Structure 1
C-alpha cells in the first residue's frame, strides 16, 4: 500500500473550493458527470458516475474533508484527507490519500493531478 500527498494551488477561495467539493450540483458542473454528495458524516458518495465511491467521514466547513474511498477486496481503508488553506493566489489544497493499493498508485496519482485537481482548476479558471 502506498500514500499520495501533494499541495495544489487553486485560483479560488477556500470557501469556494469547499463548495465545489461538497455541493452535488457544483460537483456535477466541474466533473461533467452525475455526483452524489452530502456533508453528513457517514453518508455515501459517488463521483464520475461511480468511478470514485466511498463514505464521508468528517467535515470542517471551508477547511477540511475526510473520506474513505473504497477499493474492493482491500484489507485496509483508503482515506482521503483534503485540507484547504488561504493562499495569496487563492487556496492551497493539501491532498493526502493513504493506503492506495500498489497496482493502483500510478493511475490514482495521475487521476489526482489531471482529472480531479485539473478539472477543478479549469472550473475556477472559467469563472
Structure 2
C-alpha cells in the first residue's frame, strides 16, 4: 500500500526566489551540501543529493508550482512516485507545500523525517541565513 504525505514550511523569501532555487542545480547543491544536476524544463532530468534522488519534471508553472517524478535510492516508493510543490505568497515571504505521492505506507514516518533532514530544514536555514533580519515585505519607501 502506498500513501501521500503532505508537508509545509514557511520561507522568509518570495515565492519566485524559492522556485528559482528548486530549478538551479548549483544553488540546490549549496542548500543540500550534495551535488545536484537539474535540467529546468518539462521533461528535464533531475539528479539530486549526489544521485540518490532521480526524476523528471512533469509540469512547471513559474514561481508557484513544480511537479516531478521522484525516486530515492534505497526507498520502496511506488513506480509512479511523484512530488508536487506549491509555493504560496505570505505577508513575510512564502509557504512551501510539498506532497509526495507513492510513499510506502509503513515508511511514511521515515520519509517525513527524510524530507525534513534533506530538504525542508536545509532550505529554510539557507534562506534565513541569506535574508538575515530583513523581512521579505519591507519596502525601501
TM-score, with normalisation over the residues of structure 2? 0.82
Q: Which structure 2 segments of 5+ residues have no match? A: 131-141
The match for 1:31 is 32
Equivalent in the alignment of 2:20 = 19
Let me know the Cα RMSD of the aligned residues: 1.7
> Could you list the per-position Cα deviations for residues 34-78 of structure 1 after superposition, in whole angstroms to 9, with x for gaps in the alignment?
101122111221111012111111101101000111267765401
Q: Give the match for residue 56 of structure 1.
A: 57
Residues matched between the structures, number = 127
Structure 1 length normalisation: TM-score?
A: 0.91
Q: Runs of 4 or more off by more than 6 Å in structure 1? A: none
Deviation at 1:87, TM superposition (A): 0.7
- Report how far residue 89 of structure 1 moved: 2.3
Which structure is larger by alpha-carbon Rg, 1 or 2? 2
Whether the aligned pair in 1 keeps the contact of 2:19 and 2:63 (CA below 8 Å) is yes
Mapped to 1, the partners of 2:129 and 2:13 lie a distance apart of 11
Please tell me whether residue 123 in structure 1 is matched to residue 126 in structure 2: yes
Q: Distance in 2 between matches of 1:31 and 1:74?
A: 22
Report SS of the residue matched to 2:37.
Answer: coil
Q: Is the 8 A contact 1:52 1:69 kept in 2?
A: yes
